[in-house]
Amino acid sequence: MNSPLLEINSITKSYQIAGQDVVVLKQFSMTVGKGEMVSIMGPSGSGKSTLLFILGLFLSPTAGTYSFDNRDVLQLNRKEQAGFRRNEIGFVLQGADLLENSTVYENVEYPLIYAQSKRSGRQKRIHEVLDQVKLSHRIHHSSNQLSGGERQRVAIARALVNHPSVILADEPTGQLDRENSLQVMNYFRAIAEQTETSLVIVTHDQQVAEFCDQIIIIDRG
């Protein structure tokens, strides 16, 4: 295995539900290497999304440590967290969330806008990532006109556009048929191999999981 990119140790997360603490993650640890593809499996409600939110700094754990590139990222303030998300993380949300009433181009441009990248370089970069997911011909289509598989690929291109160190994908094939699922996983594989980007992919699907280098199974508690 390559040198580790991110490492979490003894992470515990509990939610307050009706005044009671409900533990979702308990003493959970994992390590992801550079360019490594990891899949997270587990039944519904086992805390997979919660884990990804913690990795993306959208949630802080109740206990445990998280180091990213040897930095303790749990110490970051709100502004630094946003910067961390912009520069290190590409998020592919559950259900291929695109901005409605916006074109493919505009969707992929947003991360560049928030990273204040120069306007002159944007177009080239957007074409590059759309080429990677074979969607250049759809560049000026509205997101509402795309099929499920195409939306998922736009979401991947958008996650890639800022050269992240890791892509976090929450059930990226959940709503796709077999053929489209395999296609998406092939893109992920290619990305991991060509750009040394690590991937953490939450999935239900055994066949999808088998594309990965490491399979982690979480179960309640």
Partner 1 sequence: MRKSDLIRISGRQVFRQYRKNIGVAMIIILGTAGLIMVITMGRSIEQNISSDLEIIGNATRIRVIFKPPETIGAIQDNREFSDRVIKEITRITGIEAVAGIIRKRGYVRATSGEREKQFECLGVDHSFWHIHGSTSLHGTLITAADVRNSKLVCTIGQRVAQELFGSVDVVGKFIRIENNLIEVTGVLDTISMPDKVRHIFLPITTARKRLSRMSPRNRLYIRCSSWDDVLPALRQIPDVLEKFQPGDEVELFFPVEILKRVKAIAFGVKTFVKLALISTLFLGGFGIWNIMMMSVRARTREIGLKKAIGAEDKDILVQFLAEAVLLSLSASTLGILLGWAGVSLTADIINSSPPQELFWFSVLIGFLFSLFLGVAAGIVPAIKASRMEVVTALRYE
Ligand X SMILES: Nc1ncnc2c1ncn2[C@@H]1O[C@H](COP(=O)(O)OP(=O)(O)O)[C@@H](O)[C@H]1O
Positions touching Mg ion (CB under 5 A) are 49
Nearer to ligand X, 47 or 61 (CB): 47
Question: By the 8 A CB rule, do 187 and 132 touch?
Answer: yes
Q: Which of 3, 17, 101, 124 binds ligand X (CB under 6 A)?
A: 17
Question: Which residue from 46, 65, 45 is spatially nearest to 55, judged by alpha carbons?
Answer: 65
CB of 9 to ligand X, least distance (A): 19
Any idea of the CA torsion for 70, 195, 209, 174, to the nearest 10 degrees? 100
Strand partners, 91: 168
Among ligand X, partner 1, Mg ion, none, residue 46 binds (CB under 5-8 Å by kind): ligand X
* Window of 4-12, 21-29, 86-94, 197-205 that interacts with partner 1 by CB under 8 A: 86-94
Residues in region 155-184 near ligand X by CB under 6 A: none
Distances (CA, A) of 36 to 60, 68, 137, 166, 219: 24, 14, 30, 9, 22
d(CA 179, CA 199): 21
Q: Which of 13, 138, 151, 158 binds partner 1 (CB under 8 A)?
A: 158
Which residues contribute to the site for ligand X (CB under 6 A)?
15, 17, 24, 42, 44-50
